[in-house]
Amino acid sequence: MTDEIVAFGERLGAVFAAYGRLCVGIDPHASLLSAWGYDDSAAGAREFGLRTVDAAAGLAGIVKPQVAFFERHGAAGYAALERVLAEARDADLLVIADAKRGDIGTSVDAYGEAWLRPGSSLEADAMTISAFQGLGSIESVMTSAERWGKGLFVLAATSNPEAAAIQRAVLTQSSREGATVAGAIAAGVTSWNQGRPDAADREFGSIGLVIGATVDLAASGIDVHGDVPRPGLPVLAPGFGHQGGEVRDLKHVFGALSGGVIVSESRSLLSAGPDGLADAIARRIDEIGAVDV
């Protein structure tokens, strides 16, 4: 290794300081491809992704490709995604692959290697992941991510109304008896970050959560009062913009977690079209930067 590995949480802190907390989604959905004048094809998804990277570079610090819209085009879509990921990383953007993968054992390890291993053709800086098979089922990926200077965002509480039944279900066994599913995942991730040898020196941990911008966190069993966790907890928060979350409510909604919130927006920016996107991103960064977090 010639490059020193810098922990994902440290890189995230540097990006917040330099560019703010906006994350630009790369969602080559069929209707957006059409609105941008591209074919609904792997080549269209590639051009859409490259144009979005160009528009974001130097303005925003973070991009989030939605993997599903590339996977929809099969191997050709993955070749397009590889190109977009490489361009984004070359442009010094922090890249979160929104893959929501999950499995156990060697299978989940293989997903970690696909998206996070340095040198992988699909290498990103972080990925979203699901712990439906238990937080313990993804612990080996947390360990690999940490070793590689990469990050994970574990699904915890999402904005869609049909998610509440499962995410607010109450644990009746395990050491977190009485916690909700979302609360237990949040507590487990926080505790894992705190257990790293140099945790006290870190601004942010390398493992974070996905929490929707319009979620009622108290009802979800995630405590956002009291002290700010150390290291800080990265929170990928979709649902601002198009889905109705307001950045001015960020501190109220996320409380002690607000310092780690990544404001993720896709449709509300991408609908500006290829020619208006850079302006839309710059304007949004100013709006978000003007809010006290």
Binding site for a copy of itself (CB under 8 A): 27, 29, 66, 68-69, 71-76, 78-79, 81-82, 98, 100-108, 110-111, 113-114, 120-122, 130-137, 155, 158, 160-174, 176, 180-181, 184
CB of 99 to a copy of itself, least distance (A): 9
Rounded to whole angstroms, how far apart are CA atoms 145 and 140? 9
Rounded to whole angstroms, how far apart are CA atoms 225 and 282? 32
CB of 234 to a copy of itself, least distance (A): 19
DSSP 170: B
CB of 64 to a copy of itself, least distance (A): 12
Contact 242, 272 (CB under 8 A): no
Whichever of 183 and 259 has its CB closer to a copy of itself, that residue is 183
List 64, 100, 150, 251, catalytic entry:
100
Question: How do strand 207-211 and strand 151-157 relate by DSSP bridges?
Answer: parallel
Backbone φ/ψ region at 171: left (φ over 0), alpha (ψ -120 to 50), beta: beta
Q: DSSP of 71-88, one letter per residue?
A: HTTHHHHHHHHHHHHHHH
Whichever of 19 and 70 has its CB closer to a copy of itself, that residue is 70
Q: What is the number of residues in the chain?
A: 293
The reply to whether 100 belongs to the active site is yes
Rounded to whole angstroms, how far apart are CA atoms 97 and 94? 10
Crossing angle of helices 42-56 and 273-289, in 10° steps, is 40
Whichever of 173 and 226 has its CB closer to a copy of itself, that residue is 173
CB of 261 to a copy of itself, least distance (A): 20
Whichever of 27 and 125 has its CB closer to a copy of itself, that residue is 27
Whichever of 10 and 82 has its CB closer to a copy of itself, that residue is 82
CB of 141 to a copy of itself, least distance (A): 11
Q: Would you please indicate which residues are annotated as catalytic (active-site) residues?
A: 100
